[in-house]
Amino acid sequence: MATHRFIVSNYSNALTSGTVSWRSPSNIALVKYWGKYGEQMPMNASVSFTLSNCHTQTKLSFEKKVSGEFDFEVFLDGKKEMGFEPKIQKFFERIAVYLPFLKDFKFSIETTNSFPHSSGIASSASGMSALALCFMDMERQMQPAITDAYFTEKASFLARLGSGSACRSVEGPLVVWGEHPDISGSNNLFGTKYPFGVHPDFEDYQDTILLVDKGEKQVSSTLGHELMIDHPFAEQRFRQAKDNLSKLVPVFQNGDLSAFIKIVEQEALSLHALMMASTPYFILMKPNTLEIINKIWKFREETGARLCFTLDAGANVHVLYPKFEKETVLKFIKGELAIFCKNSEFITDEAGLGAKKI
Ligand code: DP6
């Protein structure tokens, strides 16, 4: 699939100033993206649940100026946030060829997250996706003929250039990113809604995020991806991810939760095993991450409850379970897992349908 379809040569309407707002959720990968090439292309296909409660809301105000350099300011919770500027500057540079109007406007980007900034929940997926959608909203005002499909695909395509996983935050509840032979429409350039049958249990799957460590990550995902380039297990890993996604296809269809649990937990532990086997090696799990994992295994063994865990690139634990287990699992989390969280904090969330215009 070629990128030139996202390059626009001219617009039919002119814009002078205005405001657009979008809300975009975070997502949690079941098969993980870890390793990339070229301009933000994944080494393997991944699939994630789009979340609901963990989201970023972004208001983009724009005013026409004389074309020149990029001109933007970023505000987090109403306060100017210069710390985000280098990442956004890089984002502008990457997407300028696809949004030729970027240098013609002065932008103000006002953003708020529904989750605390220090929660250790990455805001890059929700943040980059919300911003990409705001730009697409501007583009649609200038070119009203674009289709909904083009709007969604290009929003995801642009979001990917900000942060790979962000391309899976535009739609929901299950989104695939990366070319996979078993999944029609899947491609490396943008996320696509999982195209096959999904058992009702997976439409509102629950994710309770246990906040084990709220500090800044010691190693960024971007660096972690780079360490896959010469990683001794890279090839095996990419094959494993491909096989795990193939295995999930019948599982999503028939709701086989035992099989689901095995695949999802293996993915989480493989991700962290890759980190531990990198050069340089590093560990993002904390002692309490392991305490929680062991407690989950014990509880599952004793009660047969269908909960499992996954991890992203940090110490927090995502507890995943079907809605029919909600009461049992939340009781267990409050009674036995919250003590392993910083200030006993956790966030309850569930699979959702993607981004929304505000
Ligand atoms: C472990 O999307 O944050 O969460 O593309 O460099 O911005 P960049 O990386 P990022 O990596 C996410 C890694 C992960 C797995 C996943 O979400 O698939």
Label residues 105-141 b or e (16+ Cβ within 10 Å = b): bebbbbbbbbbeeebbbbbbbbbbbbbbbbbbbbbbe
Please tell me the distance between residue 221's alpha carbon and the centre of ligand 1 in angstroms: 6
pLDDT, one tens digit per residue, over 98-145 is 999 999 999 999 999 998 776 777 789 999 999 999 999 999 999 999
Q: Which residues are bridge partners to 74 per DSSP? A: 109
Cβ pair 30, 90 in contact under 8 A: no
Average pLDDT of 299-323? 97
Please tell me the distance between residue 304's alpha carbon and the centre of ligand 1 in angstroms: 32
Q: Which residues contact 196 (CB under 8 A, 6 or more apart)?
A: 183, 249, 252, 253
**Which of 19 and 115 is assigned the larger pLDDT?**
19
Nearest to 270 by CA among 72, 35, 16, 14: 35
Q: Which residues contact 119 (CB under 8 A, 6 or more apart)?
A: 209, 211, 214, 316, 345, 347
The finding on whether 46 has its CB within 6 A of some atom of ligand 1 is: yes
Please tell me the distance between residue 35's alpha carbon and the centre of ligand 1 in angstroms: 9
- Distance in angstroms (rounded) separating the CA atoms of residues 122 and 117: 9
Q: What is the pLDDT of residue 215?
A: 67
Q: One-letter amino acid identity for 204?
A: D
Here the tokens at position 220 are: 């960024």
pLDDT, one tens digit per residue, over 53-78 is 999 999 999 999 998 999 999 999 99
Q: What is the pLDDT of residue 117?
A: 73
Q: What is the atom index within ligand 1 of the atom nearest the CA of 27?
A: 17
pLDDT, one tens digit per residue, over 207-260 is 999 999 876 667 888 899 999 999 999 999 999 999 999 999 999 999 999 999
**Helix, strand, coil share of the chain (percent; to 5):** 40, 25, 35
pLDDT, one tens digit per residue, over 133-177 is 999 999 999 999 999 999 999 999 999 999 999 999 999 999 999
Here the tokens at position 2 are: 């070629």
